[in-house]
Structure 1
Amino acid sequence: MTTQSEAPATKGGQVPLREKISFAFAEFGSQFIWSTLGTFLLPFFTDVALIAPVAAGNILLVARVLDGIQDLGFGYIAERTTSRWGRFRPYVIFGAPVVSICMILTFTSPFDGQGAKIAWAGVTYVLICFAYTVANMSYGSLAGVMTTDSGERLTLNWIRSQGGNIASLLLQTVTPFLLVYFVATEAAKDKGFDSRSFLITMTIYGLVTLPMFLITGFGVRERITLTPEQQKVSFRETVKAVVSNSQLVIIFLFMLMMLIGLFGRIGVMLFYARDYLGNPLLMASLMPAFQMGTMAGQFFLPPLALKLGKRNMLIGSLFSSGAVLLAIFFIGDGQGLAVLTALHFAYGLAGFAAPIALSMVPDAVDYYEDKTGIRADGTSYAAVSLSTKFASAIGGALTLYIVGLFGYDGAAQQQTAEVMTGINIAANLMPAIMAFLAIIPVLFWKLSTKKMAEIAAELEVKRAAQADALAHGLSRDEAEAVAEHAVEEAES
């Protein structure tokens, strides 16, 4: 069971506004890492480091698999960490500088030979993945330990999403121009970037990231802690708690499918703008339109999600996203930039339910604690983070395999018509299919707003009864029996 820490309690589980605002900053900073890697690392690999698309795809897969193995182990360590800052905040605070340094190294290519280039790219990408996991997975776990209220968790993740949306909008608008502005030669402007412009731009982004994580790390408080008995739960039991949590498995599956499409699309958008549409700076129109649509769609999310239900909101969002992507695929650039920009705005608008996914994780954690008495905040978030890592790897590799299959050549000045078709498939058709497939696991989600209110009430009774039993010297099993009896009495 969980207990309350010494952080100030708030009425009804409410989180102070100051903490909610502070919570958004790390997401703002993390997008300077995550969105930038997702959007610009593939062009850097293929067109600056001149690594073959298939080799670049393999780097993504291997690095993310290794990173995924790290996730569950680190989640277990983090949720059992004891410090003056809590369980997760230390990793947010002290992990941020490492993330910034690794970010800069990832966008360098100091060697000439193909083997050395691949080795350097692989090592630096593994390092940034590991460092980002430590800082960002700990950050993601905070919402589940800042409050016990499901509605407040939804609000926190909505605010978090707004921080990410603002950063993404800024990045998608500014980055293409920065990459062109900092090029070493006029000839590189047609390509849209070179090694010098990548190094300067990513150094700026690494420096921006650091204070954003620190504001969150020092600005929020953890209120839910593990009892000494819960800290004794073994790693094997904790992993079992994650794997056997049916609602957490649902989150893992639909996020995996949805994000394979999204991350794959983001990874080839520069190719889509430069090669398919004919101008790399068109990214500064299409991606901000998508982001503004996302922000508009999510503006009224918290009250709608609580009223209509998270499951229904997600199904509507996924179906709408797939439909718009199909429209973009078939229309292409035939109707002009204005129509294409409007469709990208509609695609962002269709993603209105994205923040719901993260708010579902602590709901699934509470559900499993109510059933078994085992709480695994960090490991559960690690499992969901694992779906994100796998989706990033599979989506990025899949799009590279697709464009590689159609004959993409990073050294070519002009791509063939076959390559254009492959880019359109990778950017639009593949993500549409994945959005439709992601609906299937969501159909099995059963934690409604009403159900979560019942679980929260039961957990409150259980935690109080078990804490009292443990204080009187009862064993863990005896305390759990007392807690179950207390719930039965409360319901009668």
Structure 2
Amino acid sequence: MEQQTYKRASFADVVKYSFGGIGSNMAFYLVMSYLTFFYTDIFGIDTMVVSGLMLVSRFIDAFTDPLMGMIGDHTVSKMGRFRPWIVFGAPVLGVLIFLLFTAPDLSPTMKIVYAYVVYIAYSLASTVVNIPYHALTPVMSEDPQQRTTIVTWKQGMGTIPQFVVTVMAIPMVDFFGGGATGWAIYGAFIAIITTISFWICAWGGKKYDVCDEKTIQQAKQKNNFNFARDMKLLLKNKPMMMLMIAFGTDVLANATCSAVNVYYFKYVIQDMSLVAQVANVTLWTGIIAIPMLPILTKWLGKRRLFWWGEAISIIPLAVLWLVPNPSVNLIMMMSMFAFWGFISKFPSFLGWAMLPECSDFAEWKFGQRADGLMSSSLTFVNKFGMAIGGFIASFFLGLVGFIPDVPQSEAVCSMIGFLRFGVPILGYVASLISMWFYEITEDKYKEIRRDLEARHAQAEKNV
């Protein structure tokens, strides 16, 4: 397998494309970290209603996400297959982010209607933009190592939203006036950044997402859009299914602890100032992990690094859960959060880095790539894990009698601790089990790439 035979993206285009990491993660972190809190403590919606909203929207995504992936795969336009959806969908997504964190003065019933309509519309817009964005990764480059570098840049850009949201959200909301007004202005700020970032991302993919004459002819030959057939391709792809489960349970773990993070410091630790401090620590340790990703994947391989990242992430969470009041020993608490922030980043990064491997496996095994469909499956489990994490947090808080802005009972505080640390541990264990059955090792992937290169070379000769 000759390295120089791979088509590679220029460094400038990789950087421009990586701005999608900002656009994608702005809303992701904002919704995961604060939407449940915003709905209950700012908008005044019951926790059970919030949990129901999360579930309903995911049932819709179960259909629309793979459908969008297939639509992207079958799109043929002057702007390419995936870029049109990013360019025209980004401003719509931006408007819906603003509406998502706007709290109009409505009756209790109309508040619920508003929340359902806006959240479901936001979820659909996110699907239209994010699935084509992720599908561009294997289109940008055929080089397996550069693909990891591209994902590293994407995830590296994702630390900017992490800072803007997890560290700066509360101070910025307060700066903008606090309450409903502060959140609405902050939502508009996030919306503008999201839209511009996705436009820059689409600019970076311009040279690579093209529909030339060859592409158009191939599209005509495959002009048989078939939902059932394409879904069968996904379900037969065992590595993709194992990756979906492992990545989804990892997201569920992180989403659950994020959804109750503010509750944990507000009601259990009773020190809201620690929200920004802990977020800052986990942010910077996560930044340290980013440049180490390509190095560690070359040394350990993606599958092994994913597995060990999940396993070791359990340790700091278990320590923080078992210590009755970790804030008494602030150095220990910050050290555990820092360690968790560092090691848990690797599985989060690697899901997207392993996605092109699964697309290559599909082409190698079944003769069809379906980059959009594969990306949609991972985007779906990403949103599904995030929503189920939010549902678990809202449902169980309501189950034990949580009431906003009052001192909580011991049962509620214990439940918050379990949701903050216990549920994530269970999610990581599920990821470990699934990743054990992921069959694309480094040697296996080299074999796949050799076979694909030989097929491509033969196809070029036959043209």
On whether the aligned pair clears a TM of 0.5, the verdict is: yes
Q: What pairs up with 1:132-143 in 2 under 5 angstroms? A: 132-143=126-137
Counterpart among 224, 228, 243 of residue 235 in structure 2: 243
Contact 1:146 / 1:224 at 8 angstroms: preserved in 2?
no
Q: Which moved more, 1:99-108 or 1:292-301?
A: 292-301
Q: How many pairs were matched up?
A: 452
The answer to whether residue 406 in structure 2 is matched with residue 421 in structure 1 is no
How far residue 88 of structure 1 moved from its aligned partner, in angstroms, is: 0.8
Q: What amino acid maps onto 2:56 in structure 1? A: V
Q: What amino acid maps onto 1:443 in structure 2? A: W
SS at 1:87 equivalent = coil
Contact 1:320 / 1:350 at 8 angstroms: preserved in 2?
yes
Contact 2:100 / 2:119 at 8 angstroms: preserved in 1?
yes
Contact 1:33 / 1:103 at 8 angstroms: preserved in 2?
yes
Q: What pairs up with 1:206-217 in 2 under 5 angstroms? A: 206-217=191-202
The answer to whether residue 169 in structure 2 is matched with residue 146 in structure 1 is no
Identify if the C-alpha distance between structure 1 residues 153 and 230 changes in structure 2 by more than 3 Å, giving closer, same or farther.
farther
1:62-91 CA distance string (max 9 Å, x none): 112212311011111111111222111111
Mapped to 1, the partners of 2:111 and 2:165 lie a distance apart of: 27
Mapped to 2, the partners of 1:253 and 1:23 lie a distance apart of: 27
Q: Which residue of 2 aligns with 1:5?
A: none
Identify if the C-alpha distance between structure 1 residues 12 and 375 changes in structure 2 by more than 3 Å, giving closer, same or farther.
closer
Q: Which residue of 2 aligns with 1:404?
A: 398
Task: Identify unmatched segments of 5+ residues in structure 1.
Answer: 1-9, 184-192, 472-492
How far residue 406 of structure 1 moved from its aligned partner, in angstroms, is: 2.1
How far residue 154 of structure 1 moved from its aligned partner, in angstroms, is: 1.0
The TM-score, its normalising length taken from structure 2, stands at 0.93
Q: What amino acid maps onto 2:47 in structure 1? A: P
How far residue 447 of structure 1 moved from its aligned partner, in angstroms, is: 1.4
Contact 1:262 / 1:431 at 8 angstroms: preserved in 2?
yes
How far residue 30 of structure 1 moved from its aligned partner, in angstroms, is: 2.2
Contact 1:301 / 1:352 at 8 angstroms: preserved in 2?
no
Counterpart among 269, 272, 293 of residue 261 in structure 2: 269
Q: Which residue of 2 aligns with 1:31?
A: 25
Percent same amino acid among aligned pairs?
A: 23
SS at 1:13 equivalent = coil
Mapped to 2, the partners of 1:70 and 1:373 lie a distance apart of: 24
Mapped to 1, the partners of 2:447 and 2:225 lie a distance apart of: 26
Q: What amino acid maps onto 1:398 in structure 2? A: I
1:389-413 CA distance string (max 9 Å, x none): 2111111100111222221112x33
How far residue 16 of structure 1 moved from its aligned partner, in angstroms, is: 0.9
Contact 1:177 / 1:281 at 8 angstroms: preserved in 2?
no
The answer to whether residue 244 in structure 2 is matched with residue 252 in structure 1 is yes
Contact 1:14 / 1:152 at 8 angstroms: preserved in 2?
yes
Contact 2:6 / 2:141 at 8 angstroms: preserved in 1?
no
Contact 2:94 / 2:195 at 8 angstroms: preserved in 1?
yes
The TM-score, its normalising length taken from structure 1, stands at 0.88
SS at 2:252 equivalent = helix
Mapped to 2, the partners of 1:468 and 1:223 lie a distance apart of: 23
Contact 1:258 / 1:438 at 8 angstroms: preserved in 2?
yes
Counterpart among 413, 417, 425 of residue 432 in structure 1: 425
Q: Which residue of 2 aligns with 1:487?
A: none
How far residue 250 of structure 1 moved from its aligned partner, in angstroms, is: 0.5
Counterpart among 174, 181, 192 of residue 180 in structure 1: 174
Identify if the C-alpha distance between structure 1 residues 24 and 179 changes in structure 2 by more than 3 Å, giving closer, same or farther.
same
Q: Which residue of 2 aligns with 1:369?
A: 363
Mapped to 1, the partners of 2:195 and 2:74 lie a distance apart of: 25
Counterpart among 444, 467, 477 of residue 437 in structure 2: 444
SS at 1:404 equivalent = helix
Q: What pairs up with 1:44-443 in 2 under 5 angstroms? A: 44-183=38-177, 193-220=178-205, 221-222=207-208, 227-228=218-219, 229-232=221-224, 234-331=226-323, 332-353=325-346, 354-410=348-404, 412-443=405-436
SS at 2:77 equivalent = coil
The answer to whether residue 447 in structure 2 is matched with residue 454 in structure 1 is yes
1:185-212 CA distance string (max 9 Å, x none): xxxxxxxx51111111111111121111
Report the aligned-residue RMSD: 1.9
How far residue 281 of structure 1 moved from its aligned partner, in angstroms, is: 3.0
Q: Which residue of 2 aligns with 1:483?
A: none
Q: What amino acid maps onto 2:120 in structure 1? A: V
Q: Which moved more, 1:301-310 or 1:115-124?
A: 301-310
How far residue 339 of structure 1 moved from its aligned partner, in angstroms, is: 2.2
Q: What amino acid maps onto 2:183 in structure 1? A: F
SS at 2:328 equivalent = coil
Q: Which residue of 2 aligns with 1:485?
A: none
Mapped to 2, the partners of 1:348 and 1:27 lie a distance apart of: 18
Task: Identify unmatched segments of 5+ residues in structure 2.
Answer: none
Q: What amino acid maps onto 1:448 in structure 2? A: T
